[in-house]
Structure 1
Amino acid sequence: MKFFKQSVYAAAMIAAGAVGAKAETLTMLSSWDESYNAVPVFAQGFAERLAEKSGGDLNVEMRGPETVSPFEQLQPVSAGLFDMLFTHGAYHMGETAMAFGMDAVSDDPEARRESGVFEVIDAHYAKRNLKLIGVFSAASGYHIMLRDPIGDDGALEGRKIRASGTYHDLVTELGGSVVTLPASEIYSALERGVVDGAAWPVFGAMDYKWYEVANHMTRPTFGVTNLTLFMNLDSWNALSEEQQTMVVDTAKELEVEGRTHFETLWAEEDAAMQEAGLAITEFGPETAENVDAIFAAGVWKQVEAKAGEDGKAFHDLAVEKGITAR
């Protein structure tokens, strides 16, 4: 009997060791730290849910922008120094603008998945040894904070607007001139009148306190802010089929649930910005009707210029499926 108990104990220990041996820890590089509200919802939310789904067999450790600069993260993940990347498509336009195209795609998680654009994007990044895992909508887009309200022109005629590459075409199309500044200099530039406004996602003005030096924010908003999750292709291929399914299913769930959560966050921040003193200023009727299409046209221009035939195929498919404004 004693021998039997010892044998059962030994077998249990071996089995436990086998289970433990299956456990894997993936490293996720993020373009933002956890103070950016998308990180707890999508990046950390993904890690927690995946660990739960896998029974602890798949764990994710976060690495932030202090590890690698946000604009230089694509290559080290492609090379396998990290397993995953949580980022924005516009951050890597020096290499490709393919994922940036999602900012011009309708904000409907299911329609996006069903349209086939994920497969087109995935095939493009596979050439860079990356696997597209998910694209998460922040349920909101972009706007421009202005010192003075929209005038009779209904647009941005004669105004100097701080804008990254995301907004260049939109600003110039609306009659403004682009000023390139890092986020850290926007406050002082608005305060001193170096710029007349600054383009930014609708999230973020509260954190930077730009409401102290800008008086208005434009409506309607335009585009959709998206966060993209990639995985090193070798790391992906090393997973079992069951693990791969868990990874993708986790992303799909968060694409829907995270977006719903962000709808609430956006409503709260929009109200807070108005309470802090940012008044809404409306584009003129003609501009308001077309601002989303103007933004989309600028996005697709960059996607096709920097992702070549793949970018054109992405754009053509989005038009065919009716999920883009232009």
Structure 2
Amino acid sequence: MKTLAKTTASAALAVGLAATGAAAQDTVELSMATPWAGGHWLEIGANSYAENVADLTEGRVTINVFPAGALGPALDVTETVQMGIADMGHAWGGYDWSVDRTSALFGGWPGGPTPEEYMMWLYNGNGLELWKEWRADVFDVVAIPCGVTETEVFMHSHKKVQTPEDLQGLKLRTSSAWAEIAPKLGVSTVTLPGSEVFSALERQVVDAIEWGGPGGNMQEGFDKIAPYMMMPGVHSRAAVHDCIFNEAAWDKISDGDKALMEIAGRLTMLDTYLGYAENDLVAFEKLKEESPVEMVQIDQSLVEAATEASNEWATEQSAENEWFKRVFEDQSAFLEGLSGLSEFRFAPGSR
């Protein structure tokens, strides 16, 4: 109730500020670069934020959403925004991990939060403050978290994987932290842009791929070209997308509308949480009924091995990266403090 009251009060203040400043502000039109050629991360994620901003600002701020490659390379959205080629971007931290491994802690990693835990860390803990400070310090962009993703499918594969032993020698397309952690378990990893993932799996250039949840993966058709689908996605329990802004573009927006755009970020977090879950449930049932793919539940031993390797990796990063250490320690402490939830709450879908 405290959080709800604070959000309501913020909304009221923002609306008031917007009303007083609207007369003096011209309409601002922003271009948004994305890494998504299509699919639900573009439709439910980027487009939802644009629509929420337009609604909340009553059209004073409009966002034109561009698919991957239209404004810059799909994997370089942050750089495209930094250079001012795009006013803003719908970003995923995992694509920025080569610049700073801290991005994995925000973008989703094997030792990280679930969708619900990410939102709690952001809005009940220090996650939001750390995120904004980190993006400004390392990338010189303004950041608003604007979407929480689903737990992913562990992999679609030509080989059945259930135990740590099954990972030995597996050639896997992946990205972000898992690309460095999986080799600790005997995996050979390959990073490919989204446009090449389907063909690489189909032609068996790789043994397996990871991509997204059941909804997104069914759209891509991975179940039709590889016989095994492993779950759950211990490599990515969830992730968060952020809407990042070039500082010059951000400065063109009134303080009142900036506040409304922050609220639009929170609203889009809810939109994506509900939208991806609904999309995944529908797709999962359809896959079970119609797809020839064999669904495989990974063993607890593999979950434990991945978690152990992830914590080892995080400790290594913390030793040489102050930002990583700061965020990792804060996130870990917050997640540890949530342990009581499992004692008095039911997990979604557990009945």
Deviations 1:92-137 (A, max 9, x none): 2332343331212342213322211221221122133211111411
1:217 paired to 2:229: yes
1:26 alignment partner AA = L
2:212 alignment partner AA = P
Cα pair distance change 1:188/1:132, threshold 3 Å: closer
Q: Partner residue of 1:311?
A: 324
Corresponding residue SS for 1:313 = helix
In the superposition, the TM-score normalised over structure 2's length comes to 0.76
Q: Partner residue of 2:19?
A: none
Cα pair distance change 1:281/1:173, threshold 3 Å: farther
Structure 1, unmatched stretches of 5+, are: 1-17
Structure 2, unmatched stretches of 5+, are: 1-21, 339-351
- Equivalent-residue separation in structure 2 for 1:272 and 1:324 (angstroms): 37
Deviations 1:241-287 (A, max 9, x none): 21111000010111123201111111122233333222221223311
Cα pair distance change 1:233/1:315, threshold 3 Å: same
**Radius of gyration: which is bigger?**
1
Q: Partner residue of 1:4?
A: none
Cα pair distance change 1:174/1:217, threshold 3 Å: farther
1:177 paired to 2:192: no
Corresponding residue SS for 2:226 = coil
1:37 paired to 2:40: yes
Counterpart among 244, 254, 269 of residue 230 in structure 1: 244
Q: Partner residue of 2:113?
A: 105
Per-residue deviation, 1:302: 8.7
Conserved 8 A contact 1:154-1:284:
no
Conserved 8 A contact 2:88-2:243:
yes
Conserved 8 A contact 2:230-2:298:
yes
Cα pair distance change 1:82/1:67, threshold 3 Å: closer
Counterpart among 282, 292, 295 of residue 277 in structure 1: 292
Deviations 1:45-95 (A, max 9, x none): 111121111121111122332221122221231233322110211212332
Cα pair distance change 1:229/1:294, threshold 3 Å: farther
Percent identity over the alignment?
A: 18
Q: Partner residue of 2:151?
A: 140
Deviations 1:197-228 (A, max 9, x none): 22322354323322232111112222213322
In the superposition, the TM-score normalised over structure 1's length comes to 0.81
1:53 paired to 2:64: no
Per-residue deviation, 1:316: 1.0
Counterpart among 64, 68, 78 of residue 72 in structure 2: 68
Paired residues for 1:196-211 under 5 Å: 196-202=207-213, 203-211=215-223
Corresponding residue SS for 2:211 = strand
Cα pair distance change 1:195/1:64, threshold 3 Å: closer
Cα pair distance change 1:171/1:99, threshold 3 Å: closer
Conserved 8 A contact 1:219-1:282:
yes
Q: Partner residue of 1:149?
A: 160
Conserved 8 A contact 2:164-2:302:
no
Aligned length, in residue pairs: 305
Q: Partner residue of 1:83?
A: 87
